Amino acid sequence: MKRKLIAAIGVAGMLVGVAACGSDTKSGGGEKAADTKELTVWLTVDAQKNWPELVKSADDAVTKKYPGMKIKHEYYGWPDKNAKLDAVLATENAPDVVEMGNTEMLSYIATGAFAEVDPKKFDQSDAWLDGLKASVTYEGKTYGVPYYAGGRVGTWRKDIAEEAGVKAAPKTYKELTDSLDKIQKKKGDKFSAWYQPSPDWYAAMSFVYEAGGSIAKEEGGKFKANLSSPESQKGLTEYKKVLDTYMHADKTKDESDRPVVFGQGNSGMIFGAGWEGATAATKENDKVGKLDTKLENFVMPGPSGKAMPVFLGGSDLAVPAKSKSQEAAAEWINAFTGKDGQKVLTAKGNLPNNKTDLAPLKNDPKTAVPATAAESSWFVPMAPGWGQIEKAQVLKTMLQEIGTGKKSVADAAKVADAAIDKVINTK
């Protein structure tokens, strides 16, 4: 995944004054870690729910080295994380470690919100995945550490497929839809053969890019919205067909609790991050019984005959420039994202943050599907105003209106394009 660095990216509103507070000291060389008494770590709920043992392991590594240090954790959902981060960065009470989506990093880096770090102090930094490495790099300096990568895969209930007479996971899109048709007919119209929340733009844009479309195109150094193009509308129309045919649950809900819903047993398939199936099968979420033995992952086929291009996203960890514990924060991050940490993350269905650990996953039956799926990917436009588009939830709004029938594909795409064009080139 190749990404262009943006010379200057602005974040509207609260972060305007942060640049003046930036530090010229790399994390790992600031205050004496031994003098640090407290560390505040902000992570998303993914870590809290899915790999709490890794959080504890990083805590233990740091407190063992610095006895008496107190580590506080705060967990946030993706929708509200940045608004809360923007607010606290305008104060003197910044956290010491914060998790960011890789599409969010450059907006904050360019304003001076994050401290520079020394990549040599972090495990396997010389092999970081290109897309994640680019997301923490600005003007030749490093301002964060890749945490994990996440591709998308198809996950279905093979027991339900077998009930409908389907004996193997699909390898083509026709096989997929034929199988889902059989499952839908067998289970009835209150069942979702494919549970696909309509606002899930990561899934929807896979259809768009698979059809030859895109969110926006770059021409002459400027970006222009492209959702109204024939190719993009073709992909959105196919996505709408999936929603109409197989999604019989609430179409206004987003994908944040998809593993929980899948674990309840009222759906046959999901298209989501590689870890979601395993999360659905946890003791807490499994209402089916022995769900882990009934799930099967597969590389999502696309309508054109090739593998569906998937969003290869991921998370990074950064140290706010206003942190008073930068050295200890860097050590916590390395304990969390290092070699042992990557083993935990890949065991949970994530892709590692580095090429060294990714290579063998393609040959392991347990991880071959997500590792192979990641080979065909798409990424968001690396435009100055992309962060504003995400914050305004332009794509989610468009997709919810399409999914619920409030607007036609053409009308919803036209409105979204207008909203995108207003800010996409704004620094």
pLDDT of amino acid 21: 37
> How high is the pLDDT of residue 384?
77
Q: What pLDDT, in 10s, does the model give residues 68-112? A: 999 999 999 988 888 999 999 999 999 999 999 988 887 788 789
* pLDDT recorded at residue 54: 98
Task: Output 274 or 182, whichever has higher pLDDT.
Answer: 182
The Cα–Cα gap between 1 and 133 comes to: 10
- Average pLDDT value for the chain: 89
d(CA 249, CA 227): 26
Q: For residue range 145-170, list pLDDT tens digits in order.
A: 999 998 899 999 999 999 999 999 99
Residue 27 pLDDT: 58
* Mean pLDDT value across residues 22-40: 58
Strand spans (E) along 233-384: 269-273, 295-298, 310-311, 313-318, 377-378
Q: What is the average per-residue pLDDT within 391-397?
A: 96
Q: Which two tokens stand for residue 276?
A: 């979601």
- CA angle 305/309/314 to nearest 5° reads 160
Q: What is the pLDDT of residue 325?
A: 94
pLDDT at 374: 81
- Percentage of the chain beyond pLDDT 90 is 71
Q: Is the pLDDT of residue 17 over 70?
A: no
Q: Count other C-beta atoms under 10 Å from residue 291's C-beta.
A: 21
Question: pLDDT value at position 329?
Answer: 97
Radius of gyration, alpha carbons of the chain: 22
316 touches 145 (CB < 8 A):
yes
